[in-house]
Amino acid sequence: MKPGLTCETVGDYSIFVQNWMEPSDGIHGYLSRFLASGDATFQHIAIWTLLQLLESEDKKLIGLIGKSDDVVEMIKQIANRQMESDNEAEDDDEGEVVSLAQRCLELLGQGASKSHIEG
Amino acid sequence: MSNIAVDATNRRRLAETEPRLVQYLVNLTESSSPKVQCQAALALRNLASDEKYQLEIVQAHGLGPLLRLLRSSYLPLILSAVACIRNISIHPQNESPIIEAGFLKPLVDLLGSTDNEEIQCHAISTLRNLAASSDRNKSLVLEAGAVQKCKQLVLEVPVTVQSEMTAAIAVLALSDELKTHLLELGVFEVLIPLTKSPSVEVQGNSAAALGNLSSKGTLTDRFV
């Protein structure tokens, strides 16, 4: 195998690895800004994108996501979110984001940890 | 006539009482007076707010004359022609006829040949409309150089044009066949910085494009 190529890389996901931190804080910066934005649509886009990246089977990329504490922390917050809205349509959207976030955590090997106590 | 056609009720009345109207206006777009050509194109643009007229203008062989106006060197003519073709391109059945009439390259050229924000917006929005329904048309829009041109210009153009350009890239990124090509063209170099844009729309469109490029297989067009 040529240096620099890894057998784990599937499809074109190496470009997400190359652009993880740059330009302009890279994919990492974009995801963490959108997750922290407080905007439901932006969070939805970011969580959906994260799920695609975690399903990529690209170990390097999944490793980079797993090591991004800020991103993982925000995924956890969204996954543990309680439904508060009285509006059913909003609840549906919110419910979908929550379940996407839970699926992300499962793929990161951190699922089903709602009452998990660290330490 | 152009002013009358702005109003939806008037357009309905015209449809009932003036069956030859579109053909008449198409003929006027070939007048020897640029002012008349311009007003005829604007009247067609206003009529083309309705689906019925979007189809009828194509059936009346309006695409050829409109393409000639769009390729002219007189700004008001270009503007009225590109505004008109934008409305006509909304109808899914018109996508392929417009592409086959030869609009793609001139539309891509318009993106960079002028500083006129309105013309740029109409041109890129038309390209996005033309790419909406089929992977084949998406591929033809890409082959015409639309993405290279957007990538080259998007960081410099006004925010309204940025919004249309990022939306167009997001639409093209829905096609599985084109993802690798788009990535190789280096769209990340502009899409990632644009997720920091002061405009919420530009941020959202850029992120939607990145999202579409991140997915293999099942895709979503919910954010575009």
When pLDDT is averaged across residues B90-115 and rounded to a whole number, the result is 96
Report CB contact under 8 Å: A33, B195.
yes
CB contact under 8 A, A52 and B215: yes
Contact A24 B179 (CB under 8 A): no
pLDDT in the model for residue A65: 97
Query: d(Cα B168, Cα B87) in Å, to the nearest integer?
Result: 16
Tokens of A40: 């439901």
Nearest in space to B98 (alpha carbons), one of B74, B75, B132, B121: B132
Residue of chain A whose Cα is closest to the Cα of B194: A24
What is the C-alpha separation between B124 and B136, in angstroms, rounded? 18
Confirm or reject contact between A15 and chain B (CB < 8 A): yes
Q: Do B214 and A23 touch (CB under 8 A)?
A: no
Contacts of A49 in chain B (CB under 8 A): 207, 210-211, 214-215
By C-alpha distance, which of A73, A75, A90 is closest to A43?
A: A75
Interface check for A46 against chain B (CB to CB < 8 A): the answer is: yes
Report the length, in residues, of chain A: 119
Say yes or no to pLDDT of B38 above 60: yes
pLDDT in tens, B149-208: 999 999 999 999 999 999 999 999 999 999 999 999 999 999 999 999 999 999 999 999
Q: What percent of chain B has pLDDT over 90?
A: 85
Cα of B94 to nearest chain A Cα, Å: 31
Residue pLDDT, tens place only, B120-154: 999 999 999 999 999 999 999 999 999 999 999 99
The answer to whether A38 faces chain B, any CB pair under 8 Å, is no
| A11, A19, A49: residue with CB nearest B192 | A19
**Nearest by Cα to A77 from A28, A39, A30, A114:** A114
pLDDT-based confidence at residue A116 (cuts at 50, 70, 90): very low
C-alpha closest to that of B45 among B74, B9, B77, B13: B77
B133: left (phi over 0), alpha (psi -120 to 50) or beta: alpha
Region A14-29: what's the mean pLDDT? Answer: 96
Q: What is the pTM of this model?
A: 0.89
Contacts of B174 in chain A (CB under 8 A): none
Specify the pLDDT at position A9: 36
Helix (H) or strand (E) holding B34: helix B34-47
Tell me B174's DSSP state.
Answer: T
Q: Which of B203, B204, B210 sits opposite A49 (nearest CB)?
A: B210
Percent of chain B with pLDDT over 70: 96
Least Cα distance to A52 among A110, A14, A96, A103 occurs for A103
Instruction: Calculate how close chain B gets to A118, using CA atoms only, in Å.
Output: 32
Segment holding A47, helix H or strand E? helix A40-54
Tokens of A103: 């699926």
| Nearest-neighbour CA in chain B from A29: distance (Å) | 9
Following DSSP, what letter does each residue of B122-158 receive, concatenated?
HHHHHHHHHTSS-HHHHHHHHHTTHHHHHHHHTTTS-
